[in-house]
A and B are shown apart, each in its own frame.
Chain A
């Protein structure tokens, strides 16, 4: 068993605008099971952050409990990290984000961590439209505690033990939409071509961005009969369309057939192009998104890709009109405006 990744990297690894290679965004060697989908998602996160040329110290990765919540150790080794309590990642991110709005918040959770013990926290962080990326590594089971069915396991899906799940599944994308999330997407750990641009777009989006990533648990839920196995997902994934992410100040080089694509400018100035889109889906309309999801669910497909985007998203800071500066940069003068000001406030209340 290897305990370290060799120090050598490919001699011609591309460098980003900061002069960093992908290796600068890696973490420790993974201790997850060989073939776990979570590792692939880690790989996509590394690629997305490298390609976006984000300074690693500008990212905070936070998680709860589970194999998925362990994953942040295995990427972005030079970023801030907080491994919180089971299901409580959203409140820790909320606190952190309120205190320092300048960091990029990357929440990483599992389907157990989110849809069972953390369901309440998830609902509220979505409805508050906190500016964060929320990635669920969704394997339909509690991997860390040996594979019990989770709340996202589809009804009838068979786990390794051989029993079919008796309960209806929670669809995290649908829930998030209903709660008021402003960016909702679904993807598959085994499809980096789709997942990487989605992560980039989610990072560039201001507001709550959920990416529900189906991520097979090879050890407990990759058996025939499971609807979260590599094979099943590959056969049943239906993409809403293709997302092409164009970073800020980069020229658009891909040629799109006229009328075939939507261009969306995101808050940080970068843009996404949506093309080959499902004709029935209007990704800027919540109702259309919900109907489409439901349609695919009843057909037994897994709808992947960008499902919904609110172009006019106002995040929690906008809504609360909080200070534009991180709290740790506020000085005594900013915080104690003086006796006269206090007097004025008091007078206004009389």
Chain B
């Protein structure tokens, strides 16, 4: 293998599993250490710069970082990822007033006007990045306040309105011109206002329905999940019937059933076509629903609405089982059992969302593909009309808040480049630093001991109380003591093992001490060959091998990054400091930086 080029910022970035998996590349271990040090405000600001909504995301993030967390790969089935998301919330809960740390908005504007359609997290991120650069920003949204689906969809028992308002307002208070309660009905009209650029962040606002027999007769008792959730959030709906069937297995279904339970639903059931394990909802959302006494019926395909004398009585379902072919492709095969009847006074359909751009004229130079989605560049977020950019759920279909934020940052870079007449394809390089953490002989500036504690559980409000009040937050968050212990579980994957071959005397000290057998001195070979011949097999192909230049004995040092604990023992045992523990800080460059 060729020697590893550690100057390539992506090499060490990939080692920081959580940060690499985060769409916005939040420097996770850096803020976790600050939380352990009770420096909550600094921890919050690191988050704020990366992901804009630390308090919101600390409660609601889809947390792609956690399945990626190294801790989850360690030996033992019960070893779980660090509770990264809930630690973020600790920073938000315990910070001091941060308003004086927010960017200063120039009084003198740069003369460029940008329109943002939709006031969801994608647009708000664009506003956050461009306002400090002097852009004049107009936001249009059909809701009465900013936040998009974070306001209309995510229920208050998961995200209190004050938390939402606080973080949305940090941005709107940057002198953003808002036009709320207005449906934008023509992009042409917006363009005609002479904006220098337009960002479309309108999300995927249309709920999918199921056109089954009986629907017409039952129609007033069948709602689209997202519309119903919005009407609850906007205080149009205050109660629901007793027997509720929620169709669908995603997070929307989980929010629908849990909200129903709080609005008077007594017999609330979730019915899903797929097997339980294949449900789209995150495991923790399913757990939360079941904890609230909501049963989930899997392998039931809805067949028809049963309506008697003009009144919805329930639904028929066909029982199926999942079969997987050789390629692992699933098909749901009826079991042949008689149809299952479930009673219902009302049905909520939560089977998916779609994009809809009826308001975008098709003669504006914006190309649409065969699925009627705009053609958007995945790096620059520019459409085929160079003035118009898309991001968030509007760009590539429904995702989540953190993805919308990541898109927003990138779109802001593009808009800034575009307005300055520069090529949007010239992306700024990330900002990286690599600095030794050595404080003395065998002393490191980070807490290198590896804690063995299992993952800590976030305490919940008493069930009876939280079910009685849809606005009462269910999760209470970690207290500072538990937060400290959870933070200490983090392995500090950003503190990198950096190897300098010129210093190595090949004494084997690092090999002998390494608890997880990461290091091998061996004759060089092709990657495939090396992976099976190291001290311990390097079978996780998603994780790189770190290969040195040739050593005096004609061997190379090969380190499998897979389960390195970043414990620093190799560097402690190295007599010549050929190994050093160096903190790698990777920051995604933002617009104008």
Q: A35-B576, A190-B507 are in contact. Are A10 and B568 (CB under 8 A)?
A: no
B516 touches which of A9, A35, A43, A192 (Cβ 8 Å): A9
- How many angstroms between the C-alpha atoms of A11 and B448 in the bound complex? 21
Q: Within 8 Å CB of B574, what residues of A?
A: 34-35
List the A residue with the shortest CB-CB distance to B552. A234
List the A residue with the shortest CB-CB distance to B571. A34
A220, chain B: closest CB distance, angstroms: 12
B553 interface hit (Cβ, 8 Å):
yes
- How many angstroms between the C-alpha atoms of A4 and B574 in the bound complex? 17
A7 interface hit (Cβ, 8 Å):
yes
List the A residue with the shortest CB-CB distance to B535. A10
A230/B507 in contact, CB under 8 A: yes
- How many angstroms between the C-alpha atoms of A3 and B441 in the bound complex? 14
Q: Within 8 Å CB of B517, what residues of A?
A: 9-10, 13
- How many angstroms between the C-alpha atoms of A29 and B442 in the bound complex? 14
Interface of B is mostly: loop
Interface residues of A in 20-78 (CB under 8 A from B): 29-30, 33-37, 39-40, 42-43
B573 touches which of A7, A13, A35, A189 (Cβ 8 Å): A35
A332-347: contact bitstring with B at CB < 8 Å (1 yes, 0 no)?
A: 0000000000000000
Interface of A is mostly: loop
A231/B567 in contact, CB under 8 A: no
A260 interface hit (Cβ, 8 Å):
no
Interface residues of B in 249-290 (CB under 8 A from A): none
Q: Within 8 Å CB of A249, what residues of B?
A: none
B75 interface hit (Cβ, 8 Å):
yes
B449/A4 in contact, CB under 8 A: yes
- How many angstroms between the C-alpha atoms of A76 and B516 in the bound complex? 18
- How many angstroms between the C-alpha atoms of A330 and B573 in the bound complex? 47
B74 touches which of A8, A29, A30, A36 (Cβ 8 Å): A8
Q: How many A-B contacts at CB < 8 Å in the complex?
A: 105
Q: Within 8 Å CB of A33, what residues of B?
A: 575
List the A residue with the shortest CB-CB distance to B506. A190
B194 interface hit (Cβ, 8 Å):
no
A43/B512 in contact, CB under 8 A: yes
What is the interface residue range for chain B against chain A? 35 or more
Q: A33-B575, A35-B573 are in contact. Are A8 and B507 (CB under 8 A)?
A: no
Q: Within 8 Å CB of A12, what residues of B?
A: 536-537, 539
A2/B449 in contact, CB under 8 A: yes
B63-76: contact bitstring with A at CB < 8 Å (1 yes, 0 no)?
A: 00000000001110
List the A residue with the shortest CB-CB distance to B73. A11
- How many angstroms between the C-alpha atoms of A189 and B512 in the bound complex? 11
Q: A2-B442, A2-B567, A8-B74 are in contact. Are A39 and B509 (CB under 8 A)?
A: yes
B552, chain A: closest CB distance, angstroms: 7
- How many angstroms between the C-alpha atoms of A1 and B572 in the bound complex? 7
B508 interface hit (Cβ, 8 Å):
yes
B572/A2 in contact, CB under 8 A: yes
B496-511: contact bitstring with A at CB < 8 Å (1 yes, 0 no)?
A: 0000000001111101
B213, chain A: closest CB distance, angstroms: 52
A5 touches which of B74, B79, B569 (Cβ 8 Å): B569
What is the interface residue range for chain A against chain B? 20 to 34
B575/A9 in contact, CB under 8 A: no
A218/B507 in contact, CB under 8 A: yes
A19 interface hit (Cβ, 8 Å):
no
Q: Within 8 Å CB of A43, what residues of B?
A: 508, 511-512
B334 interface hit (Cβ, 8 Å):
no
B324, chain A: closest CB distance, angstroms: 26
Q: Within 8 Å CB of B542, what residues of A?
A: none
A216 interface hit (Cβ, 8 Å):
yes
Q: Within 8 Å CB of B506, what residues of A?
A: 190, 230, 234
B568/A2 in contact, CB under 8 A: yes
Q: Within 8 Å CB of B563, what residues of A?
A: 8, 10-11
Q: Within 8 Å CB of A34, what residues of B?
A: 442, 509, 572-575
Q: Within 8 Å CB of A10, what residues of B?
A: 75, 516-518, 536, 563
- How many angstroms between the C-alpha atoms of A30 and B537 in the bound complex? 25
A328, chain B: closest CB distance, angstroms: 35
B573/A39 in contact, CB under 8 A: yes
Where the two chains meet, the residues of A that have a C-beta atom closer than 8 Å to any C-beta of B are 1-2, 4-13, 29-30, 33-37, 39-40, 42-43, 189-190, 192, 216, 218, 222, 230-231, 234
Q: List 25 A-B contacts (CB under 8 A).
A: A2-B442, A2-B572, A6-B449, A6-B452, A6-B567, A7-B450, A9-B516, A9-B517, A10-B518, A10-B536, A11-B74, A11-B563, A12-B536, A35-B509, A35-B576, A37-B507, A39-B512, A39-B573, A40-B507, A40-B508, A40-B511, A43-B508, A43-B512, A189-B508, A190-B508
Where the two chains meet, the residues of B that have a C-beta atom closer than 8 Å to any C-beta of A are 73-75, 79, 441-443, 448-450, 452, 505-509, 511-513, 515-518, 536-537, 539, 552-553, 563, 565, 567-569, 572-576
New A-B pairs, 10, CB < 8 Å, besides A34-B442, A36-B575, A231-B505? A1-B572, A5-B569, A9-B517, A10-B536, A40-B508, A40-B511, A43-B508, A43-B512, A190-B506, A190-B508
